[in-house]
Structures are given as C-alpha cells and as structure tokens.
Amino acid sequence: MKHLISPMDLSVDEINEILDLAKRIKENPEKYAHVCDGKKIATLFYEPSTRTRLSFETAMLDLGGKVIGFSSADSSSAAKGESVADTIRVISCFADICAIRHPKEGAPKVATLYSDIPVINAGDGGHNHPTQTLTDLLTIKMLKDDLNNLTIGLCGDLKFGRTVHSLINAMVRYKNTKFILISPNELKIPDYLRKEVLEANNIEFTETDELETYMPQLDILYMTRVQRERFFNEEDYVRLKDSFILDEKKMQYARKDMFVLHPLPRVNEISVDVDNDPRAVYFKQVQFGVYARMALIMKLLDIKEPS
C-alpha cells in the first residue's frame, strides 16, 4: 500500500504519470466516471479548508465513488480527546482511502503507521501540501507544456507556507529550475530547505524583498498569503500581512507569457484588478486540482485505466 505524505514520496516518473493521467481525465471525463464505483474516500479535516476538501470530494464523486468525513476537529471525536492513531484505525473500517489535514506537522505521517488504507496528506501545519503541488505542477504543465527550464518566483510567506515548501521539493527535480524567493526577512524559507534541498541540489536561487525588480525574469509567479493562523502574535502578522500586493501596475513588468498562480485563499496579496488579466490562472488552477486528485486517487487505489 502506498501513502502520499510528501512530494518526495513520488518519483519524477510517478509524478509525470499522475499528471499525464490527469490530462487524459480532463480531456475525457466520461471515460472515468465509474472507475471508483463502490469505493469511498474519507476526508478528515482538523483544520479549515474550502478547496482541498471539496476538491477531494468532487474528485471521488466524479470517479463514481462516495464520500464520508468531517470538516473540523470540533465535529469529530478529536474534541473528546481521540488520537489520530485511533481515528485512522476506525476510518480504515469505513473507507478505502483517506485525505487528512491537520495543524500539527507530521500528523498524517503518524496516521500511516496505524492505517489499513492509503493516507493522503491534505496539508500538515507549515510542513507539506503534496496534492496542492500536484495541482500546481499540472497547472504549469498545461500552460507551459514543460516543467523544465523554468524561473519560478515564490512570493509572500515562504517560512510557514507549506505549499511553497512542497513545490520547491518537487521542482528541484526538474532540469534547470531557478527560484526567486521574494519575502520579508522574517518570512524567508526555513534553513533546512535552503541547505538540504536548494544548496544540496545545486539549484540557482535568489532571496530578495523586491518583487518588481525580478518580475521580468519570471516564467511563473507563485503568490502566497501571509497566514495569520501560523503567527504567535497578532502584531507581527499585522506588520507583515501586506508586504506584497500584486496589482495591474506591477503586472506591467511581467512577460506576456508569465502566469500567476496562487494556492488560495487570497486575502490582499493579489488585487482583484489582476483577476481579469489572462495571465492570472489561480481559478483555473482550482479546476486542475480536481483532475490531479482524481488521478492520484486512481493511482493509490491501483484502479486500472478503462479501455
């Protein structure tokens, strides 16, 4: 049995297989509409979500399967003190696969130790969010046609942003990736990513607090929210939350073939006047997330492609 806890759990070949399957599903969804008949996914969300939970549920429903789950710790027996280990043993009796989001780093990994079914990390604290990464990779591949030779600007909260950490881990495995890491000093990427991932793989990267200067170099601009829920005090959050605001004026510095991605939710960091720019693809990205998760569910359940 296979789980997905980090993007590193998948080889580049496996990632590419999932992206290719997702593309085939997008082109011909009817063909896949019953491949998961009789299967169930459990979505165990101990932390708020709109996209990830509903995207998993949509993915399973669109494959012909069914959905169970809870959308907050308060509405589960976690509120009575039940451990993740016990919860996953119980869920293994009900479902064929599960997606788990938890505020504590490592909680989905703990679940794998007690689970009889595949466990997908749907976001653990500030650590990883591998299915957002599959979504991001699919979006980039569909729009740029290639995941090699890209200069990617990552902007905003690079310290706590699990989507950023997962995307860096995935993209360093493609050829000639360059990163421009744009953040306030306090929200730079964690040391382990700089040393053990970027430097260890000889990846070219620049750390800066300037967005406009680097805009003309970018193939992809990945904007992120400064996450109030990860700060220890409100004062720091208020000081840093509006460090970068992408607007149409700043978009004028970007190339015509640059695309703006954002895992969402957005707060202030992208002005709504950017939404109508054809290079703003963050809502398309949400749709790609459903196809990526459909493909992942099929892979983890070892569902054969229908003939």
Sheet holding 40-45, edge to edge: 66-70, 40-45, 97-102, 119-124
Would you count residue 49 as binding ligand CP (CB under 6 A)?
yes
Smallest separation, CB 50 to ligand CP (Å) = 4
Please state whether 114 falls in left (phi above 0), alpha (psi between -120 and 50) or beta: alpha
Would you count residue 100 as binding ligand CP (CB under 6 A)?
no
CA dihedral 57, 136, 281, 210 (to 10 degrees): 140
Contact 17, 282 (CB under 8 A): no
Would you count residue 50 as binding ligand CP (CB under 6 A)?
yes
The residue from 147, 246, 251, 264 that contacts ligand CP (CB under 6 A) is 264
Chain-centre distance of CA 88, in angstroms? Answer: 22
Tokens 């809502």 sit on residue: 283
Q: What is the set of active-site residues?
A: 51-52, 80, 101, 129
Could you tell me which stretch among 49-57, 167-175, 182-190, 299-307 binds ligand CP (CB under 6 A)?
A: 49-57
Would you count residue 263 as binding ligand CP (CB under 6 A)?
yes
Would you count residue 52 as binding ligand CP (CB under 6 A)?
yes
Helix boundaries (H) for 154-212: 162-171, 191-192
Kindly tell me which of 216 and 265 has the beta carbon lying closer to ligand CP.
265
Binding mask 122-141 for ligand CP (x = CB under 6 A): -x--------x---------
Contact 122, 60 (CB under 8 A): no
Binding mask 266-295 for ligand CP (x = CB under 6 A): ------------------------------
Query: Which residues sit at the interface with ligand CP, rule CB under 6 A?
Result: 49-52, 123, 132, 263-265
